[in-house]
Amino acid sequence: MGNNKSYETLWSKGVQASKAVEDFTVGNDNILDLKIAKHDVTGSKAHIKMLSTIGLLEIEEEKVLSAALDEIYNNIIAGDFVIEDGIEDIHSQVEMLLTRKLGELGKKIHSGRSRNDQVLVDIKLFFREELLNIKDDVLKLFHKLQSLSEEHKEVLLPGYTHGQVAMPSSFGMWFGAYAETLADDMIMIRAAYDIVNQNPLGSAAGYGNSFPLDREMTTELLGFKTLNYNSIAAQMSRGKSEKAVANAIASVASTLNKLAADCCEYMCSNYGFISFPDELTTGSSIMPHKKNPDVWEIIRAKSNRLQSIPNELSMLCTNLPHGYHRDFQLLKDITFPAIEDIRKCIAMALLMLDNIRINPNILEDPKYDYLFTVERVNRLALEGVPFRDAYKQVGLEVKDGTFKKDENLSPLLHTHEGSVGNLSTEKINNKMRNNSEF
């Protein structure tokens, strides 16, 4: 039957758990919980400060506990904190350290709360911090794209529909498009931030507490914008918070995925629109001429995986009635690595864009002459020719091979907002500024 050794946890009521059961149910918590360790201490400090105001802790006891928590916090920041073997999670480790140091006083820290609302506080504080980090990353990428858009706004680029040569575009329009799309993604990040920026502490196991807890006080101490007022609703935010964060990540990932796909295509020798230094590409084990877009391909692949995470979380939480379920423990397994991956993808996209090289002479190739058929049709229409007649005239020229592009019909002369000649860069910048105010 294998090793059936049993042991008691901090939360034991005298009945020992099978080690096999404990190992299976604890999972990766002793690793993943290191990411929320400092937030667990922050939440505990706010909790005991509140307990001292309602008479569950003496003022001196709160001071002693707070000093001990500060010591633990400093160890976490210094990288000297570990979750010991046999300790179930971060909450157990912190309380165990306090009990070892302070004896019976250490056990008082849990009064008025459950691990259910404790882990919710930790995760929400963690998500709040990470969403701000993602926000900063996205803003860096946004400004890089805007800078490239302005720098290359007069370099023309073929536009494609259905994978076929369509109409003139520009590098300014291409870079600027991804910048504005990130401004939309920022709305998703802001929405996720608003959802997690609510205090669940005091909801306990999901039905409140008989202690006269001051939830407004802990809300203020922890910097939450508001509370999850209803204790059941607070517990129902488990899963919902993760999905909100995942949807924000997936939105950014969708933008990165399409940018990466473009770059992989544009690097192809059949296009030759952009290139990168050798040290940012990889070679072939058999073909000495190859410069492979491996970085962009991995960004593309990771972004596809990240877009699947909201569905994975939805499936994990589907058909669960309200209240806490151990299923929720697996949410960390999914969301924590996703946060790391999206930040790494943004960082690598920035590195690549910092070193991108633009081909300024793409449209000199005669195969792109047909990009200008619409310019010609529109010019004829402006001169009074009915549009359908102008369309037919130019179509016949294409068919019989007599069409010639007119160098005077440059898309750089377009005037409407968002066209090649009017990129509206500052207006897009204002949009991002408004969307990122949180």
Residues 401-424 have pLDDT tens digits of 989 888 888 888 888 999 999 999
Instruction: Output the pLDDT for position 4.
Output: 42
Q: Are 112 and 46 in contact (CB under 8 A)?
A: no
Task: Report whether CATH 3.40.50.300 matches the domain 16-110.
Answer: no
Query: Partners of 164 in the beta sheet?
Result: 161
At residue 7, does pLDDT exceed 50?
Answer: no
Confidence of residue 13 (pLDDT cuts 50, 70, 90): low
pLDDT at 151: 97
| CA pair distance 45, 39, nearest whole angstrom | 10
The residue ranges of every structural domain in the chain are 16-110, 115-154+170-363, 366-427
pTM for the whole structure: 0.90
The answer to whether residues 412 and 420 touch, using CB atoms and an 8 Å cutoff, is: yes
Q: Taking all residues of the chain, what is their mean pLDDT, rounded to a whole number?
A: 91
Per-residue pLDDT averaged across 97-126, rounded?
A: 95
pLDDT tens-digit series, residues 266-324: 999 889 999 999 888 876 555 556 678 899 999 999 999 999 999 999 999 999 999 88
Fold type of domain 115-154+170-363: Fumarase C; Chain A, domain 2 (1.20.200)
The pLDDT score that the predictor gives to residue 23 is 67
pLDDT: is 89 or 50 the higher one?
Answer: 50
31 vs 376, higher pLDDT: 376
Which backbone phi and psi does 394 adopt, to 5 degrees? Answer: -70, -35
Long-range contacts of 368-371 (CB under 8 A, 24+ apart): 368/158, 368/165, 369/403, 369/404, 369/405, 370/165, 370/398, 370/403, 371/158, 371/159, 371/165, 371/166, 371/167, 371/168, 371/405
Tell the residue number behind the tokens 């609302």, with chain if given: 117
Tokens of 309: 């995470």
pLDDT at 135: 98
